[in-house]
Chain A
């Protein structure tokens, strides 16, 4: 197995608000290999975005990384000073955000916003940067690229703006691209185009991608490996096919059960997960999912389960994987084929 590009260990991030400390991320660990697409899935407030914002030092001023390390090519991102972090941002690590309508500065041309990124990290002339920006626009398939550099964001549609964001994030050939809900704000048809574009660019340029989303469909289509987050923790981690074929955590199973199945033509009711996510100001001592879990046991409320390796590369944070736990079909008891 190749050396990981990014190795996050026990990341903890909190927000200090007037109403107390909100523990948004509580000990997240994962690895990312070069050229891999890692999907992070979870509902709002699960800590998936905050995990990535912590890596790049982009937290709002009341947010603070409390513990952990994040080795990126041997350098700990969490220990870098502002200067070195700024050098990495936009150069080695590119980032795309959720809402392309608000993520671009309305008073600058889109070309300028790409060019300034290139000029920040490369010692080249403005003309060369402009040339590079034109190529990037062609790469992300913005029609009449050279001309469109002079347009302002409001003259673009949402999908086109997200293409600009992608061009900007890729402008310095990053080794890692973090895409935070890149398609959430877009129409379904545009979502497809953007995902296809991301996948194509990834295989062409070979960078690693962290794809944050709450949409399992996006994960299924795009990712190589998946982290399922809940209550600021990783609940399950698995290769994407395995995750959909054999989910091992009750939460993941609940998520998959709440996806409508259109194939069999029967009109089944969706199976929701009852309850709401935990209050991160007073996170539960045990498993954060226990209050909503249909398989919860007394042990689940008392203590946080460790991550059990249920198969190679497949981990699941659930007491049911304990040797003495009762057998539950599908989780620790294989369904007969």
Chain B
């Protein structure tokens, strides 16, 4: 088992290396550069800037230099935010993004799963229909629509919550709601169909034939088996939520890292693109690894063996 874990960790490093390499060369293959879009610049200034950021070095020299930085966890200086390193950009935005993301995750798990269970247990009756109608809307309507409509009603018309920022605790409501809405709906639908499938299994009839009480049957025999697909999805969902969302952070003017995903690309901020991508990839890989470990707890049929 230890050998397997070590092997997985090694594989994660290899994957990360591949992602870094691919992103690096793809990024440089795109025309333009960090300082091209700026207002007319004298050629000598342009050359000086390129020399300062080593953009005039051959591409493989830049690549090796970048790798050397990564090895010491240094993601380099930002090309757009003068005087700031990419490490600082992430460190600055992460707390905000994490706070909103973790709250959203709590909502997803504590609302999505129970709603799915309620729907499954009331199949084709009104609670099921209600949950499924809301969940379908939640999956179909984009988060920016939910966010703007909610902003209009609750902040502008009713004045219950501030329109932007997180200075007030009430400021968390709308961003968390907008961020988690899709995933609550998604998880509710998944939990419902998974539980419905489990309820059809022969061992559920066995549990009933043994005289177990409905609560015992549902929680001990039904839930664990039906949660396996939910846990599978939750890994990437966690990675997604705690790395923030460009749209939500933009609409609610939150100083998180989500917006850098998009801004760094339009800015051609090479080091920021790399840093944010590596950060997201690392979080995602760790989450998938955690999910794979959770399988061991949830399903005794799963055993891992190291490859030879």
Q: Kindly supply a per-residue 1/0 record for chain A positions 142-162, scoring 1 wherever the CB is within 8 Å of any chain B CB and 0 otherwise.
A: 000000000010100000000
User: A120 contacts which of B202, B203, B211, B224 (Cβ < 8 Å)?
Assistant: B211
Complex contacts, B216 vs chain A, CB 8 Å: 116, 120
Whether the Cβ atoms of A97 and B202 lie closer than 8 Å is: yes
Which of A95, A108, A152, A168 makes the CB contact (< 8 A) with B221?
A108
Query: Are B301 and A102 in contact (CB-based, < 8 A)?
Result: no
**How far is it, in angstroms, between the C-alpha of A88 and the C-alpha of B225 when the chains are bound?**
27
Q: Which residues of A contact B202 (CB under 8 A)?
A: 97, 99, 102-103
- Chain B residue contacts of A103, Cβ below 8 A: 202-203, 205-206
B220 touches A117 (CB 8 A): no
Distance in Å: Cβ of B130 to nearest Cβ of chain A: 20
A3 at the interface (CB under 8 A from B): no
Are B209 and A90 within 8 A (Cβ)? yes
Residues of chain A from 52 to 101 with CB closer than 8 A to chain B in the complex: 56, 58, 86-91, 95, 97, 99
Given contacts A106-B299, A106-B301, A154-B301, A58 and B208 within 8 Å (CB-CB) = yes
A107/B298 in contact, CB under 8 A: yes
The one of B201, B209, B213 in contact with A95, judged by C-beta atoms closer than 8 angstroms, is B209
Within 8 A of A (CB), among B101-146: none
Q: Which of B205-255 contact A (CB under 8 A)?
A: 205-213, 216, 220-221, 224-225
Q: Does B300 touch A at the CB level, under 8 Å?
A: yes
Chain B residues lying within 8 Å of A58, measured Cβ to Cβ, are 205, 208-209
Contact with A along B176-215 (1 / 0, CB 8 A): 0000000000000000000000000111011111111100
Q: Which of B211, B220, B301 contacts A121 (CB 8 A)?
A: B211
- In this assembly, does A295 line the interface, its C-beta being within 8 Å of a C-beta of chain B? no
User: From residue A13, how far is it (CB to closest CB) to chain B in Å?
Assistant: 16
A107-B225, A154-B301 given; A86·B213 CB < 8 A: yes
Closest to A95 in B: B209
B201 near A90 (CB under 8 angstroms)?
Answer: no
Chain B residues within an 8 Å CB radius of A108: 220-221
With contacts A97-B205, A103-B202 taken as known, whether A168 is within 8 angstroms of B210 at the C-beta atoms is yes
A40 within 8 A of B: no
Main secondary structure of the interface of B (DSSP, over half): helix
- Indicate whether A105 reaches chain B with its CB closer than 8 angstroms: yes
Interface size class of A (residues with CB under 8 A): 20 to 34
- Complex Cα distance A108/B296, Å? 13
- Within the complex, the shortest CB–CB distance from A255 to chain B, in Å, comes to 28
Complex interface: chain A residues within 8 A of B210 (CB): 89-90, 116-117, 120, 168
Q: Which A residue sits closest to B221, measured CB to CB?
A: A105
A224 to chain B, nearest CB (A): 24
Contacts A105-B221, A106-B301, A116-B216 hold; do A88 and B211 have CB atoms under 8 A apart? Answer: yes
Q: Which of B125-175 contact A (CB under 8 A)?
A: none
In the complex, chain A residues whose CB is within 8 Å of the CB of B209: 56, 58, 89-90, 95, 97
B206 engages A104 (CB within 8 Å): yes
Tell me whether A86 and B301 are in contact in the complex, defined as CB-CB below 8 angstroms, given that A97-B205, A103-B206, A104-B203 are known contacts.
Answer: no
* Cross-chain contact B206 with A106 (CB below 8 angstroms): no
Residue on A with the closest CB to B224? A107
**Which of A56, A106, A120 meets B212, CB within 8 Å?**
A120
CB-defined contacts of A116 to chain B, threshold 8 Å: 210, 212, 216, 220
CB distance from A273 to the nearest CB of B (A): 30
List residues of chain B with CB within 8 A of the CB of A107: 224-225, 298-301
Give min CB distance, B269 to chain A, whole Å: 48
A87 touches B300 (CB 8 A): no
- Distance of B211 from chain A, by nearest CB (Å): 4
- Give the distance in Å from the alpha carbon of A175 to the alpha carbon of B210 in the complex: 14
- CB of A87 within 8 A of CB of B205, answer no
Alpha-carbon distance between A88 and B208 when the two chains are bound, in angstroms? 11
Given A105-B221, A107-B224, 9 new contacts (CB under 8 A): A91-B211, A95-B206, A99-B202, A103-B202, A105-B207, A108-B220, A108-B221, A116-B212, A120-B211
Listed in ascending order, the chain A residues whose CB lies under 8 Å from chain B are 56, 58, 86-91, 95, 97, 99, 102-109, 116-117, 120-121, 152, 154, 165, 168
A-B CB contact pairs (8 Å), 17 listed: A58-B205, A86-B213, A97-B205, A97-B206, A105-B206, A105-B207, A105-B221, A105-B225, A106-B203, A106-B299, A106-B301, A107-B298, A107-B301, A116-B220, A120-B210, A120-B216, A154-B300
The 7 lowest CB-CB distance pairs between A and B, nearest first, are A90-B211, A89-B211, A90-B210, A102-B202, A105-B203, A95-B209, A117-B210
